[in-house]
Amino acid sequence: MLIKKVGIVANIAKEKSPEYTAALRDWMLKRGLEVYLEEGIAAKIGCFPGVEKGKLWTLVDLVVVFGGDGTILRTARLVRDRNVPIVGINLGVFGYLTEVNLDEMYSAMELILAGDFQIEKRMMLDVEIQGGGEPFREGTVLNDVVINRGNLSRIVEFETTVDGRYMTTFKADGLIIATPTGSTAYSLAAGGPIVFPELNSILINPICPHTLTNRPVILPGSAVIGVTLCTLEQGATVTLDGQVSFTVKYGDSVTIRKSRYVTTLVSSPHRGYLEILRTKLGWGGSQTGAARKGQDARGTEHP
């Protein structure tokens, strides 16, 4: 893939984002690339004109995102119908999705611009909310859909179906429906499993269930999940990727299915997924002698 035009998006709330954006922009311009800045960060560094978020993706071959996973999630929803590759540079804390660290930014970009990189197609979920007097509401997520009790002090009940067939009625603080990408987000904190991002699956994970035998369930990616709120009190909330929220009431239904859209992420040229997991989750230990004689995480044979 030949990259000639690059867009830069940054979380302007991060103190160093203007500095790093300006530096990378200058570095790319010296290499003959066309660089477009999203209007928020353009204004921050005094580089006019910037480009509206809704138009930036139509102009570029690659998007560079400075920030944390939240910035990636917002960007993923905006570029969902353009299939533009995204490379994340981590200015956050955890950064599962922003795989490139600041100290390797230029070396990683050299490889990426030379075409020496791999991409991952991450599945997304479409969400539809119907019921009551509210208008039809919908969205697309890369990480998860969370339905929780909102301002209620009591547990809530969620009647749940899979492909139109009754599964169970969860009595819990909430319910997480996640992609494999989202398995390392809120779902992981709620006791869910880590699901490799290449897998085509959907995870249902109850939050603090009243019945202890209600455990996380991994479904095939073709499954259509229906959730109906069965609690009379108002105040339950549906949150998309932790960023967009809707209120649902008794009898309202939420339908979740695999989206036709995907998020295209540029993998770090310097490390594989297993190394990212070890680093982000603080897994200790080093390779054994037998492992060193085999293959490392990038599949390279050791002498």
**Domain identity same for 193 and 102:** no
Flag whether 18 is in a domain. yes
**Has 69 been annotated as catalytic?**
yes
Whether residue 154 is found in the same domain as residue 181: yes
Residue-wise pLDDT for 62-79, tens only, equals: 999 999 999 999 999 989
**Cα gap 5→102, rounded to integer Å:** 21
Is 302's pLDDT higher than 60?
no
Structure tokens at 125: 């979920």
Residues 83 and 175 grouped into a single domain: no
Residue 140 and residue 111 in one domain: no
Amino acid, single-letter form, for residue 240? L
Q: Is there a domain that residue 71 lies in?
A: yes
Is the predicted pLDDT of residue 151 greater than 80, yes or no? no
pLDDT digit string (tens) for 30-64?
999 999 999 999 999 998 789 998 899 999 999 99
Between residues 150 and 274, the one the model is more confident about: 274
* Residue of 26, 61, 69, 252 with catalytic role: 69
Residue 171 tokens, joined: 């009595």
pTM for this one? Answer: 0.89
Q: Which DSSP letter does residue 51 get? A: B
d(C-alpha 13, C-alpha 72), whole Å: 14
Query: What is the b/e burial string over 1-30, where b = at least 16 CB atoms within 10 angstroms of the residue's CB?
Result: eebeebbbbbbbebeebbebbbebbeebee
Do 233 and 133 sit in the same domain of this protein? yes
Least confident residue range of 92-96, 182-186, 242-246: 92-96
